[in-house]
Amino acid sequence: MTQKSQTTYAIAVGVADVRRDPNPESELVTQALLNMPASTQQTSGDWTHVQLSDYEGWVLTEHLAEPVEKGFTRVGPDCATPLDLAAVITAMRTPLYSQAEGDAQSDHAYLSTLLPLLDDTHTQRVQVALPGGESAWLDRKAVAIRRAADPYPKDDVRKVIEYAMQFRNVPYLWGGTSWEGIDCSGFVQVNYRMGGYILPRDADQQHDFLPQSVSREEMQAGDLIFFGTKAITHVGMAVSATDYIHAEGRRYNYVVVNSFERESPIFNDRLADIVWGIKRVASDHD
């Protein structure tokens, strides 16, 4: 292994695997989306150890690049603005096009990815900056243009649930954070990020982070349900007073809606018996 002074890079692919050890067979501990900052200090062969905002682990060095440097955004034929504007991906998955016209693609970007905006003048696409000095074009309908200083403004919990429901039938993937595959806490984290709430990565961390507990009888849409016997091992998101959506990797292996109502055809008997606690993310004063 090689020790280096700490340097900040950015994730240079649509979604990068982050592993526990510098080995492709090592546990996938999480994934990092395109343009996420990654501080590095250590390398081992083809791998670099990174510190993300919410996790740490090893990524392939080729999946890192220099952070984006951006100046002005083109907003008209002869007009540019120094405002720090960004495109936030609001689609589950969208192509990164090589040009403003045509079908050539370099990669895909996923829900909640944040990319600096370069050109907002095209009718169908916007141009964004990528790590490493590259750029790409995105379908306008797949993004929201925001101030980079506030890319995830607070939104109604109903919007969070709308995003969550679009993940139905997406495969379960331990450590996954995108439409390609997602785990229970990654599912909660990315959907609440789109609603303006930044949560920790793991289920037990999310539980401890949220101060407001509610009873099963008080449960409402948007609440997080934590499950476990000796420790928290799973989390789901309530979509009503009785039903919840979750990325489930034991019985279904995909994102599914279940119910606490015993007479319901989607009742999950195993999870109903191991509710650890229920926490509210969006309190009444938010």
* Rg, Å, the chain Cα set: 20
111 near 190, Cβ under 8 Å?
yes
> Hey, what amino acid is at 68?
V
Q: Which residues pair with 8 in a beta bridge?
A: 39
Q: Which two tokens stand for residue 257?
A: 């809606």
194 near 266, Cβ under 8 Å?
no
Rounded to 5°, angle at Cα 136 from 179 and 129:
100
DSSP letter for each residue of 100-125 = SSSS-EEEEEETT-EEEEEE---SSE
Report the catalytic residues: 184, 234, 246
State how far the alpha carbon of 28 is from the alpha carbons of 16, 63, 155, 181, 238, in Å. 10, 15, 31, 12, 27
115 near 128, Cβ under 8 Å?
yes
- DSSP class of residue 151? S
